[in-house]
Amino acid sequence: MIDPRSSGEAAPGDQVNTEEPPSAHASGPTGAAPVDAAVADAAAPRREAAGAPRRKARRRWVGVLVWASVVPFAAWAALRLVPRDVHFEWIRAVAFTPYVALTAAAVPLLALLSRRWTALAVSMVVAATLAACVLPRAVEGGNPPAGGPRLRVLSANLKMGAVPPGELVALVRELRPDVLTLQELTPSAVKGLRAAGLGTLLPYEVDLAEPGAHGSGIYSRHPVAPEPPIPSGMFRQGAATVSVPGAPPVSVVSVHPCAPRYAERAGCWAEGLAALPLPGGGPVRILAGDFNATLDHARMRRLLDAGYRDAAATTGNGLTATWPYEPWHFNGWGIPPVTLDHILVDPGVAARSFDVRGLARTDHRAVFAELTLPGL
């Protein structure tokens, strides 16, 4: 009898193995990982080479963005240090230096996070330069040892006489200034102030009222002697010598050069500031009013370099904004407030306190300072 298995046929009941024999080219579980790793290792240099240009481009653009942030602030700081107002547009822009200085303080952080070390060093120098220009105004100090009588000075821009006379007289009663300087004083405002009783509080006056924005005036508790007005185009900056008991003669100017809103008025603005008297060699001098300039303008720095001190900065209030007190827009953009109104005092005068007050219907805040004059 023939055995079926000897002929290659399966016997009934036998299990048939249908799996194929292992291939010599197939790898089992223990051989798969080395092959995959070898493939990955072979592909890694290609991926690295393909990604290098993208990383290089990314680093280049990060560097461009960092330097694009540094350069404008560096240019601003350089222009701020120039001892002249270089262009009409710069005259308008430099007033916002405190805001630029605040923003510049964030640029070193950007350079640090992006690991741009040269940009970090430059941005730190720029930020420190702008801070040195601005921060001293917020630090009290610099008063001389004046030992004479006290003198309170109040100054207000009436916006072409629009301020209600009763409100201004009420402020005079509250603050009790010895000297009041007014800008944009109109004939109708003079009549209103007299009717409201200003003459009983400050009986001596120099009246240079004119229609519109060109007039000015000085009111005093003490006798005054008019001085020739200081020209600034069509603007008349009133001046007078005030006789304060126990002190040398005090020369007061109601400052108001024309506003440099347009290029054709930049010359008038510059001439009005240049015409202001410098301290020394005469009476004690006080300049009070709407300078249409901040302490960042070169022509204002000229006055400070000559010896004047800003009463607000001396008392640590030099960053207190005075304009615009009402919302003001330029080409559809709101203008952040800046410090245009000042009380500058002679080197021998000490500033004891400073304050600003709002008045209705004007875009300027009134400024008030309590001073100590030199004695006789």
pLDDT tens digits, residue range 160-181? 999 999 999 999 999 999 999 9
Is residue 258 in a domain?
Answer: yes
Answer yes or no: do 207 and 67 share one domain.
no
Answer yes or no: do 121 and 195 share one domain.
no
Is residue 161 in a domain?
Answer: yes
Can you give the pLDDT of all 376 residues of the chain as single tens digits? 444 444 444 444 444 444 444 444 444 445 555 656 555 555 556 555 556 677 777 888 888 999 999 999 999 999 999 999 989 999 999 999 999 999 999 999 999 999 999 999 999 999 999 999 999 999 999 999 999 999 999 999 999 999 999 999 999 999 999 999 999 999 999 999 999 999 999 999 999 999 999 999 999 999 999 999 998 888 999 999 999 999 999 999 999 999 998 899 999 999 999 999 999 889 999 999 999 999 999 999 999 999 999 999 999 999 999 999 877 776 777 889 999 999 999 999 999 999 999 999 999 999 999 999 999 9
Domain assignment of residue 106, given as a range? 50-135
Answer yes or no: do 128 and 153 share one domain.
no
Cβ atoms of residues 280 and 269 within 8 Å: no
- How much is the pLDDT for 42? 54
Does residue 324 have a cis peptide bond before it, meaning omega lies within 30 degrees of 0?
yes
For tokens 């120098």, name the residue. Answer: 125
Answer yes or no: do 112 and 206 share one domain.
no
- How much is the pLDDT for 27? 46
9 to 3, 16, 81, 167: CA distances (angstroms): 9, 10, 107, 124
Answer yes or no: do 236 and 272 share one domain.
yes
Q: Count how many domains the chain has.
A: 2
- CATH value at residue 286: 3.60.10.10
Is residue 38 in a domain?
Answer: no
Answer yes or no: do 97 and 240 share one domain.
no
Is residue 14 in a domain?
Answer: no
Is residue 23 in a domain?
Answer: no
Helix (H, G, I), strand (E, B) or coil at 285: strand
Answer yes or no: do 157 and 128 share one domain.
no
Q: H helices within the chain, ranges in order? A: 29-81, 88-93, 97-104, 107-113, 117-134, 165-175, 187-195, 198-201, 266-274, 298-305, 311-314
User: CA 206 to CA 229: how far, in whole Å?
Assistant: 10
Is residue 42 in a domain?
Answer: no
Answer yes or no: do 313 and 205 share one domain.
yes
Is residue 103 in a domain?
Answer: yes
User: CA 87 to CA 93: how far, in whole Å?
Assistant: 10
User: CA 119 to CA 71: how far, in whole Å?
Assistant: 9
User: CA 50 to CA 32: how far, in whole Å?
Assistant: 27
Could you tell me the pTM of the whole model?
0.84
Answer yes or no: do 316 and 361 share one domain.
yes
Answer yes or no: do 179 and 289 share one domain.
yes
